[in-house]
Structure formats: C-alpha cells, structure tokens
Amino acid sequence: MKVLVLGGQGMLGSDLVPIIGQHHEVVAPAMDEFDITNREMVRDKIMASPPSVVVNCAAYTQVDKAETDCEAAFAVNAFGAQNLAIACAEAGSALCYVSTDYIFDGTRRMSTPYDCAGPVNVYGMSKLAGERMIQWAMSRFYIIRTSWLYGWHGRNFVEAILERAAGSDDLRVVYDQVGAPTWSVSLSNAIARLIETDAYGIYHYTDDAGDGVSWYDFAVEILAQAGIAKNIRPVTTPEFPRPARRPANSTLDCTLIEMLGIRRDDWKHSLKRYIEGRKN
C-alpha cells in the first residue's frame, strides 16, 4: 500500500519511514513541501495522489514553550490534524495520528483508552483537540498515544542525561513523576503493524515498564547501561519547576493494542539497543 508520512524528518518519523518502507511504498515530504497547517496544500496534495494511509508524526512538541505559544501549538496539533482528517475523508485515505500521555491529568495509573482526558498543560490540550477534530471529521482513524519517547534522531531525555553526566554539573532528576520510557523504533514497529489492520480506534502503545518508572529511575538506568558512574540526586517536582505542569502518573494501559497481537518491548531492552546503536 502507499503510505504518506508527515513529520518524517522528526525523531519518530525518521525511524518510522524506513520501517514502513520495508513492506510498503512510503512518501515522506519535508515540511516546506507539505505544511499540515496549510489547508489548501493538504487537500491538493492528498487529492492529487490519495495514499491508503496517512501517518501524522508532524507536531508542535515543545511542551514548555507551548504555554506561551498556544496559537502555534493548536495550529499544528489541532488544526493541522483537522486539515488532514478532512482531506483523508474526502480522498478515502485512513489517518493515523500519534498522540500523547499528556492528554491525561496524571491522577490515575494505567489510563485506558476509555478513561476521561484532562490535560494539565497547553501541549496536552492541543493534542487532545487534534484527537477530537479527527473523530468529528472521519471514521477510518487510528489514534495511538505514547509516552516519554526517545530516538536517535531528536533531542530527548537519554541524550540530555548523558550530556549532563559528561559535564561537571550536579545531576538532579525528579522522582515523583512516573511513566513508561518508549523507544521510537518500538513505537514505529507497532504503528507499522497497526496500519496494516482495519482495526480503527484509539490505542495506547508504550514500551513495557511494568507499573511505570520515575524519571529518576530512568536516568539511573541510562547511566548504568552507558557504564557511567555518577551520582544522581532525586528531587521533587516543586524543586525542579518547569513552565508547563506535567501529569504525575503518565502510565498507559496498552491491553487493546496487545489484543491485536502487537507485542511490546521491555523498556530496559529497548534502552540497551538504543545505547548500543548510538555508539555505532
């Protein structure tokens, strides 16, 4: 089948494009050729050559900046998604939208796709708005929510910790926010499998971190696997203030996607493969 990937140059998209390309024809235009905020461009491009599936990895992902840049976040994450959904509905293409744990308020553990959303920051609100726009405009959609993503092709927590560990700075990491670290290659494999089904709906995919780990646990494991001996000081969220509020518990129940036969990778195993891969 023909698959159009948007945001194909981003962290997730860079891993996803070659993985889908193993079995399908994949097209991944750069942002200047395909800007999802441009409704006319989106419609023209999709109608000119309708793909079987559009996978949207294009997003406004700067969580803290979004607090003061609300319009830009909504333009991409909400109205960009709406533009794609309207065009896909007209062209008869399915749409896969990558969403986030940040649509939840973090007061529950293991949120299911049926749980009520309640974002606590602008980024989460804009992504939830994108999910809703899609559901209002079309029916053949896959919404796949994930969390704590890291990959070889973007700024991420693993790189930030390794960078800070290499410097002389004191390493302080919060221990009171819990989630599931997810390697972009694991998520890409799951998306590639999901879009081959006609099981449209809302799914969660994260690497398997049991009941979840804290950012502190994640940082300790990163240094252990990288063979770096350096102390990390666990701190609370109020000791490490950020412009955007974060949900305290970001863990997602992934049963629904597992019921499709899509297996999840163990988070420590994924991290090992990521660290080995970056050495090469």
Rule CB under 6 A: is residue 10 a binding residue for ligand NAP? yes
Show the tokens assigned to 220. 């300790």
The string over 71-90, giving b where at least 16 C-beta atoms fall within 10 Å of a residue's C-beta and e elsewhere, is eebbbbbbbbbbbbbbbbbe
Cα→Cα distances 223→44, 159, 167, Å: 48, 11, 13
Binding ligand NAP (rule: CB under 6 A), the pick from 2, 21, 31, 226 is 31
Residue identified by tokens 């998209």 is 13
* Nearest-approach distance from CB 144 to ligand NAP, in angstroms: 9
Active site residues per annotation: 123
Binding-residue total with ligand NAP (CB under 6 A): 25
85 half-sphere exposure, CB direction, 13 A CA radius = 23
x/- letters, 140..179, toward ligand NAP (CB under 6 A): ------xxxx----x-------------------------
Binding ligand NAP (rule: CB under 6 A), the pick from 3, 4, 5, 12 is 12
The Cα–Cα gap between 15 and 154 comes to: 11
Interacting positions 44-83 with ligand NAP (CB under 6 A): 57-59, 61, 76, 80
Question: β-strands 2-6, 25-27: how paired?
Answer: parallel
Rule CB under 6 A: is residue 35 a binding residue for ligand NAP? yes
* Nearest-approach distance from CB 41 to ligand NAP, in angstroms: 9
Interacting positions 86-125 with ligand NAP (CB under 6 A): 98, 100
Residue 202's contacts (CB-CB under 8 Å, 6 or more residues apart) are 113, 131, 143, 144, 145, 256
Rule CB under 6 A: is residue 213 a binding residue for ligand NAP? no
Binding ligand NAP (rule: CB under 6 A), the pick from 3, 20, 28, 36 is 36
Which C-beta is closer to ligand NAP: that of 12 or that of 137?
12
Show the tokens assigned to 200. 């449209």
Q: Which residues pair with 55 in a beta bridge?
A: 5, 96
* Nearest-approach distance from CB 86 to ligand NAP, in angstroms: 15
* Nearest-approach distance from CB 168 to ligand NAP, in angstroms: 27
Instruction: Reduce the DSSP state of residue 3 to 3 states and report it.
Output: strand
Q: Give contact residues for ligand NAP (rule: CB under 6 A).
A: 6-7, 9-13, 31, 35-37, 57-59, 61, 76, 80, 98, 100, 127, 146-149, 154
